[in-house]
Homo-oligomer: A and B are copies of this chain.
Amino acid sequence: MNDSDFKIDHSKMEYFFNPRTIAIIGASSDFRKPGGRSLNALQKRGYTGKIYPINPNSRELLGIPCYPKLADVPDEIDMAIISTPAHTVLEKLEQCVDKKVKATVVFTSGFAEAGPEGAALQQRMTELAQKNDLRILGPNCVGIVNLSKSVMACFANIVDLQPVYPMTFGFVTQSGAFGTMIFSQAVESGVGFNAFVSVGNEADTEFADYLAYMLTNPETKLVGGYLEGAKDGTKLRRAAQTALELKKPVMIMKVGRTGAGARAASSHTGSLAGNDQVYDAFFRQMGIIRLEALSELTSFVIVHRSGRIPKGNNIGILSISGGAGVLMADRSESLGLGVPEFKGETRRRLESYLPPYGSAKNPVDLTATAVSEPQMLGKCLKALVADENIHMIALAMGFMPHMAPVLAKDIIEVYNSTDKPIVLATYVFNPSEAVLHAIETIKSAGVPVLTDHLHAVGALKNLSWYAGKLRDFEKASAKTKTLKISPSATTIERLASSAPLAEYEAKEILKDCGIAITRESLATSAAMAVRMARAVGYPVALKIQSPQIPHKTEADGIRLNVRSDAQVRAAFKEIIGNARKFNPEADIHGVLVQEMAGDGLEIIVGTTRDPVFGHVVMFGLGGIFVEALKDISLRVAPVSRGDAKEMIREIRGYSMLQGMRGRPPVDFQALTDVILRVSKLVSDYGDAIEELDINPLLVFEKGVKALDALIIKK
């Protein structure tokens, strides 16, 4: 069990969401003050627990008896809200410890975000929390809201908004101001939150703790967050894993994608922003939907609420306007959905319903004829539902008063006849009573309704991507056979030690872990090099071996295509001479005599260490591809077989692997295997490894061969 584990103690987190008693230290009757707004909201919303305002200057606040000090309260306190000046906060927390308070919410700012002095103060908070097992939310946060229990430990104006039902969405934010903006806009778009947490500076509890806890609530169907940088990547991974197990989607808006964003993020909070590419890989790996815009969040929540999961990636599109249909088809394909042309029975049926100038392909264009024959929509929709090759349906439809009852009836009827996801996109202007009523009826029947047809496509894409991730996850969980490596004691020792390694040692380790390397031997004299060259077979390569010379070319320490005994002898001497000149201090182990490998495709497989997520595995096409195009894919270790396959498919130069210029396809199985072995190697034995590089790894029609390798220790 590692140090950070104790924090995911759900019994403690419980008190943030379901406190039986709440003390407000720094309470006030002034609504504009944080302590006042929270007190007021708790009362107004009908919080059923006990409220204890603490304020030495008042006898009662809003009709509730007030206590001068926390110690004076004649009750156990589950949660204490602290809203007093920064320099008093530590003292208040100590009082909480004395009172055996379980959870504290610190609104106050002026800590790590305000400079070194504040950071030191915050550090003392962290220590106090850990020593006394006191949970702290904040400081510098707007607080926490649990709408289903009317826990309003929050001073943002979101406490004044009317809740939206069903309340199924939990949200965590690293930015109080932006989080509340997201909250209020999403509420307006019909998203039902049940909990909202602003984590502030994360002196004690952090983003992932709340995400993980929210997942335990059976009423919570999905969770999301605004993230600038995770404190502990392992915790976030564990939360995401739990979410996959529970089939609850996680949506995260992660900022700091580019240079400017990252710069601002690190100044905005004290958090360590990991490299954005790693986050991107991590999200993909863990089935986390990465939100680019707020509209993606709201439309996904609405579409997901139907409880329907598409069984594949093909979308059927039906619209009354050809233009909207084409736009949706374009967007669908650019997002990676399939938009198969309708064939056979579906096509025949559609053509029998549509006017001759409608389109029965996909998108289906009902044309303006649907205005006079609104029952056409239901018929076409039925045909799409019946098509096994179509896994979800987007419907863009304008409603006019005379059509509205027919459309509502037909859409609901077809919707209830299938379990395929169907989304209706309809934009109403100049609404009439009949139209509004029809749309309300459709919504009440559970059909997801959005106003923007492109948002409908986006939400379906996220849903089907998520569904695919769920299937992969289930498949991976069902497999009992996982790849194992069994390195020798020497290898394990070599890996664990902090001593640097030469190429041949790194390759011995790879070989011991089941990764094929070139035929080679270390020679410590020219004569020995000749013997080995004969054994390996001419032509050979000679390469200097010294842990202090990781970049052999720089030292002119490589000779390729060496073809005879005489050449080997000469080359050996040259190389040793060059190396001594290059670095007289270097510990020279000898010269590696290596076969000249055949004509394979150059690949790079490696690992780096991310400050948040730990070992990250990289895959790329070698040579100019990686140099000119940075054409690589990443995953956080340990990677699954599915991840490894995705990594290979993800690179832009993928077609190179499939066979180009008359070459046969490469050995994908062998590539996947190398990725998995490298991942296993760093995950199980990599505590001392900073970086690992197999560059190049040659891949052939059959098999692979590591030509060069480098392991850098921490």
Contacts and interface: CB of A to CB of B under 8 A. Distances in A.
Contact of A258 (B185, B259, B261, B333): B333
B261 A321 contact: no
A21 B321 CA distance: 32
A321 B175 CA distance: 8
A261 B361 contact: no
A175 B655 contact: no
A345 interface: no
A609 B133 CA distance: 74
Given A177-B321, A226-B323, A326-B256, A264 B661 contact: no
Interface in A300-347: 320-327, 329-330, 332-334, 339, 341
A178 B627 contact: no
A329 B175 contact: no
Interface in A142-190: 157, 160-161, 173-179, 181, 184-185, 188
B264 A325 contact: yes
A390 interface: no
Nearest to A185: B427
A652 B653 CA distance: 12
Interface in A205-250: 226, 228
A468 interface: no
Contacts of A656: 624, 628
B329 A184 contact: no
Contact of A261 (B176, B261, B327, B661): B327
Nearest to A454: B293
A255 interface: yes
Nearest to A117: B356
A367 B261 CA distance: 16
B660 A264 contact: no
A444 interface: no
Contacts of A367: 177
B357 A624 contact: no
A357 B177 contact: no
A604 B617 CA distance: 35
Interface stretch (A58-66, A108-116, A513-521, A563-571): A108-116
Copies of chain A in the complex? 2
B323 A398 contact: no
A267 interface: yes
A429 interface: yes
B357 A109 contact: yes
Contact of A661 (B160, B161, B325, B627): B627
Contact of A268 (B140, B185, B341, B365): B365
Nearest to A176: B368
A228 B322 CA distance: 10
B160 A330 contact: no
A476 interface: no
Contact of A660 (B113, B173, B185, B624): B624
A267 B368 contact: no
Nearest to A654: B628
A148 to B, nearest CB: 22
A121 interface: no
A126 interface: no
A260 B339 contact: yes
B260 A357 contact: no
Contact of A429 (B173, B184, B430, B454): B184
Contacts of A265: 322, 326
Contacts of A655: 627-629
A652 B629 CA distance: 7
Nearest to A256: B326
A448 interface: no
A260 B178 contact: no
B357 A113 contact: yes
A323 B175 contact: yes
Contacts of A323: 173-175, 177-179, 181, 226, 228, 255, 268
A424 to B, nearest CB: 15
A263 interface: yes
A363 interface: yes
Nearest to A255: B326
Contacts of A177: 320-324, 367-368, 398
Most buried by B among A160, A253, A361, A429: A429
A55 interface: no
Most buried by B among A293, A629, A652: A629
B181 A398 contact: yes
A608 interface: no
A268 B115 contact: no
A323 to B, nearest CB: 3
A466 to B, nearest CB: 22
A359 interface: yes
A322 B627 contact: no
Contacts of A140: 357
Given A115-B357, A258-B329, A261-B329, 16 more contacts: A115-B356, A118-B357, A161-B429, A175-B322, A177-B398, A178-B327, A188-B429, A228-B326, A255-B330, A257-B330, A264-B325, A267-B359, A267-B365, A268-B365, A624-B661, A628-B653
The 5 closest A-B pairs by CB, nearest first: A178-B323, A175-B323, A177-B321, A260-B339, A258-B333
25 contacts: A109-B368, A114-B355, A157-B430, A161-B429, A175-B323, A176-B368, A177-B322, A181-B321, A188-B429, A256-B326, A257-B334, A258-B330, A260-B339, A264-B363, A264-B365, A265-B322, A267-B359, A267-B361, A267-B365, A268-B326, A268-B359, A268-B365, A624-B653, A627-B661, A628-B660
Interface of A: 109-110, 113-115, 118, 140, 157, 160-161, 173-179, 181, 184-185, 188, 226, 228, 253, 255-261, 263-265, 267-269, 293, 320-327, 329-330, 332-334, 339, 341, 355-357, 359, 361-363, 365, 367-368, 398, 427, 429-430, 454, 624, 627-629, 652-653, 655-656, 660-661
